[in-house]
Amino acid sequence: MAAILRGFLIRQAYNCTKSLVASMPACNLTTQVTPPPKVVKGKLEDLQPHIRQYILEKVDVCQPDNIHICDGTEEENVSMLNQLEKDGMIKRLTKYSNCWLARTDPKDVARVESKTVISTPTMRETVPIPREGVKGTVGKWMSPEDLEKALGERFPGCMKGRTMFVIPFSMGPLGSPLSKIGIQLTDSMYVVACMKIMTRMGKKALAALGQDDFVRCLHSVGQPLPMKTPMVNNWPCNPEKTLVTHIPDRREIQSFGSGYGGNSLLGKKCFALRIASRIAKDEGWLAEHMLILGLTNPQGHKRYIAASFPSACGKTNLAMITPTLPGWKAECVGDDIAWMKFDKEGRLRAINPEYGFFGVAPGTSDKTNPNAMRTCESNTVFTNVAERSDGGFFWEGLEKEIPKDVSITSWLGQENWTKESGKPAAHPNSRFCTPASQCPNLDPAWEDPEGVPIDAIVFGGRRPKGVPLVYEAFDWKHGVFIAAAMRSETTAAAEFKGKAIMHDPFAMRPFFGYNVGHYFQHWLDFQQKPGLQLPKMFHVNWFRTSEQGKFLWPGFGENTRVLDWILKRCDGEDVAQNSAIGLVPKEGSLNVDGLDGPLDMKALFNIPKDFWMEEVQEIRKYFEDQINDDLPKDISNELNSLEDRIKAM
Ligand code: GTP
Ligand code: SPV
Ligand code: MN
């Protein structure tokens, strides 16, 4: 009763009498209710009724003290950063302009796949039914009843004592026919600051929305005030209760307990991949974990590629590549997510729905990724990196750039950190959150509302053994199979411990918004549609190692050599030959001129029969265990053909 009365009072207070509750039951006005929250910024009355209704619904549940409707202005941003600094949640990195360091509670450092769920009326819509006795690993389903219960145990009263920020944001260039709008409600100012970098947010997004519907995103750190337990690093979170939920039928996300990355910046993985992949299936397009890169060869011919690697497997690096081959130019459109749709002419067109980069810090240096270094020297929020005594940042990979008199404080706050401590200075999943507009090699067409035309789709992973540097799919169907059969070594981007080779179809295992088998079919279906210019598909592996465990390929800027070969194939050049697994470079066709150091081409391109026999068995087991009845026939046929070709080797 108190809750219903409270809801009524809130709507009365904001003069929103078109009540959500159709009729007010007679009630005793002496019932104790908390007063409605104060709107400290913006006006609820100025919002479209459907937005206001969503906010009030969640205000009812979460019971914040204040409401702040974000306008997205620079003044707002500055005042929030100042407040965050006052609260001790971020610290200025004085060596740069407007750069900040946040250190999280060490319990909240990465995406939590085990606590990320999708809720649909039936399980099969979200995940395949695994083979009997097997635990499903491609997504997690929650029944609507369990979801309601789980949300009910978490959200009521979760924003008490806090401010609810209302963030209207556009995924994709404002006004592009390919873009979509979301409204995120959050009680974390850190999230607002990062959403300002990662999305086009504020008044402009509201204007672009008009009367249309939006993706509903609710986020709470799950710590009403006063907190019952002390905060660690001034970083409120609730790891025991963390739950990231999606309701694709309602285009809705509700995330509780984590303030970190993809768990809390809901425009990113939750919206732009999980919800968007479902919208894409319904509407006939693709939402993918892919970078988008423009490449101009020395003859001046420009083309774009999209590339899909699992988390922490090199997307940001490839997206910002500095070509080592003379005469080449590379320009970045996006580093993590691509929304792609075939246009009227049958060309696949891609936009980057994001506005910034949330990139892995360790390994980034002037040598590996100078463009990222230049991008994040201003207006950047760093999370869980180490700090230099001169106000600079530090992480693994920057050892050579530390002057003698500069000391390091680790991400855990350990002063005078040295390598000898045996612990990394920066968390392996520490990140920079930085505006795309600052990237020196940003593509001029990166905000083209029509998207850029894609000529090649590249898949890849971390494969220390057996998988060659590059190979091409025989055709679209074979390409979809290669992507479905992708595997990669685990990384620090999620909660996994230790190194293991995991299946990661399309680099989307943690991000599918619906049944992976139906997703494969959605990709396969494009082959049947008339008039489409299907891009060529490839698989790359920068991470093959020698017996001694050293990388066989120099990687980074030198990857242009592989892209050169890929684009030659797109031009129809006769530089490929058949192998059991796909088309590989003809001898001498991969340009290795001027590479310093010896290169073991044989080891890089070797296709060991015993390895591939095992790989086929492993893939078959995975498909049968995990995808079971939902595996498209075309995919199992492709697997059988691969096996036949390997047997015949
Ligand atoms: P997410 O943001 O998690 O999706 O990661 P990502 O795919 O963008 O990966 P990123 O480019 O940030 O690279 C992750 C790690 O791989 C970094 O430590 C890089 O230094 C390393 N890396 C990237 N490209 C290469 C390469 O070509 N060779 C080698 N050896 N390492 C690479
Ligand atoms: C990934 O894990 O693929 C990321 C980082 O890009 S996060 O946004 O946290 O998902
Ligand atoms: Mn990613």
DSSP secondary structure letters along 342-379: E-TTS-EEEE---SEEEEE-TT--TTT-HHHHHHTTBS
Cα–Cα distance for residue pair 507/466, rounded to 1 Å: 19
The single residue listed with the structure tokens 């919206």 is 271
Which of 297, 245, 300, 304 lies closest to 271, judged by CA? 245
Nearest ligand, CA of residue 509?
2
Is 162 a catalytic site residue?
A: no
CA of 483 to the centre of ligand 1 (A): 19
CA 273 to mean position of chain CA atoms = 7
Active-site entry in 311, 365, 410, 488? 311
Q: Is 502 strand, coil or helix?
A: strand
Task: Look at 273 and 8; give whichever has higher pLDDT.
Answer: 273
Confidence of residue 316 (pLDDT cuts 50, 70, 90): very high
| Cα Rg, the chain, nearest whole Å | 25
Which of these is catalytic: 60, 65, 336, 504?
336
> Looking at ligand 1, which residue's alpha carbon is closest to its atom 21?
314
Instruction: Report helix, strand or coil for 217.
Output: strand
- 3-state SS assignment for residue 572: coil
Confidence of residue 14 (pLDDT cuts 50, 70, 90): low
pLDDT above 50: residue 319: yes
Q: Residues with Cβ < 8 Å from 540, sequence gap 6 or more?
A: 307, 458, 459, 460, 469, 470, 559, 562
- For residue 26, pLDDT over 60 is answered with no
Nearest Cα residue to 233 out of 108, 358, 112: 108
Dist. CA 145–CA 136, nearest whole Å: 20
Distance 268 CA to ligand 2 centre (A): 8
569 as an active site residue: the answer is: no
Q: Residues 111, 115, 140, 349: which is the catalytic one?
A: 111
Beta carbons of 297 and 328 less than 8 angstroms apart: yes
- Residue 636 to residue 624: CA distance in whole angstroms: 10
- pLDDT score at 29: 44
* 515 contacts 526 by C-beta, under 8 angstroms: no
39: left (phi over 0), alpha (psi -120 to 50) or beta: beta
The band of 369, judged by pLDDT with boundaries at 50, 70 and 90, is: very high
Overall average pLDDT of the 394-404 stretch: 95
- Give residue 12's pLDDT: 61
Asked if pLDDT for residue 73 goes beyond 90, the answer is yes
Q: How many whole angstroms separate alpha carbon 204 and alpha carbon 147?
A: 33
Specify the pLDDT at position 2: 55
Q: With H, G, I as helix, E, B as strand and everything else as coil, classify residue 218.
A: strand
Mean local confidence (pLDDT), 56-60 = 98
Question: Mean of the pLDDT values across residues 561-576?
Answer: 98
Q: Is 431 a catalytic residue?
A: yes
Q: How confident is the model at residue 32 (pLDDT cuts 50, 70, 90)?
A: low
Instruction: Give ligand 2 pocket residues (Cβ under 6 A).
Output: 111, 261-262, 268-269, 311, 336, 358, 493
Higher model confidence: residue 497 or residue 556? Answer: 556
Q: What per-residue confidence (pLDDT) applies to 6? A: 61
pTM, full prediction: 0.95
Residue 200 is a catalytic residue: no
User: Which range among 54-58, 324-328, 498-502, 602-606 shows the weakest confidence by mean pLDDT?
Assistant: 498-502
Which of 263, 273, 336 for mutating ligand 2's site (highest number of atoms within 8 Å of CB)? 336
CA 67 – CA 53 distance, rounded (Å): 14
Residue 482 sits at φ, ψ, to 5 deg, of -55, -45
CB 551 less than 6 A from any atom of ligand 1:
yes
Q: Does 8 or 75 have the greater pLDDT score?
A: 75
The per-residue pLDDT for range 177-206, each reduced to its tens digit, is 999 999 999 999 999 999 999 999 999 999
Q: Percent of the chain beyond pLDDT 90?
A: 92
Distance between alpha carbon 286 and the CA centroid of its chain, in Å?
15
Task: Tell me, using a 6 A CB cutoff, whether residue 493 lines ligand 1.
Answer: yes
Question: Which amino acid is located at 557 in the chain?
Answer: G
Confidence of residue 530 (pLDDT cuts 50, 70, 90): very high
pLDDT digits (tens, 9 = 90+) for 270-291: 999 999 999 999 999 999 999 9
- Are the beta carbons of 204 and 174 closer than 8 angstroms? yes
pLDDT given at position 31? 46
The torsion of the CA quartet 398, 399, 403, 409, rounded to 10 degrees, works out to 80
Please name which of 230, 255, 247, 224 lies closest in space to residue 111, comparing C-alpha atoms.
Answer: 255
Ligand nearest to the CA of 324: 1
In this prediction, residue 13 has a pLDDT band, given cuts at 50, 70 and 90, of low
pLDDT given at position 24: 39
Helices 516-525/476-484 angle, 10° precision: 160
Quick one: CA dihedral 12, 16, 18, 22, positive or negative?
negative
Query: Residue 17 has what pLDDT?
Result: 43
Task: Encode burial over 443-479: b for 16+ CB neighbours within 10 A, e otherwise.
Answer: bebbbbeebbbbbbbbbbbbbbebbbbbbbbbebbbb
Dist. CA 633 → ligand 2 center (Å) = 32
Closest CA to 214 of 189, 178, 250, 245: 250
Is the separation of the CB atoms in 185 and 166 below 8 Å? yes
Catalytic annotation on 313? yes
Query: Given ligand 1 and candidates 111, 260, 316, 546, which is best to mutate, with the most ligand atoms within 8 Å of its CB?
Result: 316
DSSP state, 534?
P
| Protein residue closest via CA to atom 3 of ligand 2 | 311
Confidence of residue 33 (pLDDT cuts 50, 70, 90): low
* CB distance 355 to 346 below 8 Å: no
Report the alpha-carbon distance of residue 453 to residue 36 in Å, rounded.
50
> Ligand 1 pocket, 556 CB below 6 A?
yes
Query: Rounded to the nearest 10 degrees, how much is the dihedral formed by the CA atoms of 198, 200, 183, 104?
Result: 20
Position 7 scores a pLDDT of: 58
Q: Of 555, 368, 312, 332, nearest to 440 (Cα)?
A: 332
Ligand lying closest to the C-alpha of residue 314: 1
Smallest-distance ligand from the CA of 428: 1
Mean local confidence (pLDDT), 591-596:
93
Going from the Cα of 64 to the center of ligand 2, the distance in angstroms, rounded, reads: 28
Q: What is the pLDDT of residue 28?
A: 43
pLDDT of the residue at 18: 43
- Residue 597 scores a pLDDT above 90: no
Which range is least confidently modeled, 22-36, 45-59, 136-150, 166-180?
22-36
**Centre of ligand 1 from the C-alpha of residue 361, in Å:** 9
Which segments within 52-143 are labelled E, that is strand? 66-69, 90-92, 100-102, 116-119, 141-142
- CA of residue 462 to ligand 2 center, whole Å: 16
Q: 123-159 burial, b if ≥16 CB within 10 A, otherwise e?
A: bbbbbbebeeeeebebbbbbeeeebeebbeebbeebb
Q: How far apart are CA 234 and CA 442, in angstroms?
A: 35
**Which ligand 2 atom is the nearest neighbour of the CA of 431?**
5
pLDDT at 8 over 60: no
Q: Please, what is the average pLDDT of the chain?
A: 94
Q: Is 488 in the pocket of ligand 1 (CB under 6 A)?
A: no
Question: Is 217 considered catalytic here?
Answer: no
Q: What is the pLDDT of residues 446-498, one digit of tens each?
A: 999 999 999 999 999 999 999 999 999 999 999 999 999 999 998 777 777 77
> Which residues have a beta carbon within 5 Å of ligand 3, which is an ion?
311, 336
Asked whether the predicted pLDDT for residue 548 surpasses 80, the reply is yes
Is 336 among the catalytic positions?
yes
Please identify which residue in the block is written with the tokens 């984590």: 258
344 is catalytic: no
Q: Which atom of ligand 2 is nearest to the CA of 261?
A: 9
The protein residue with its alpha carbon nearest to ligand 2, atom 4, reads: 311
CA of 398 to the centre of ligand 1 (A): 15
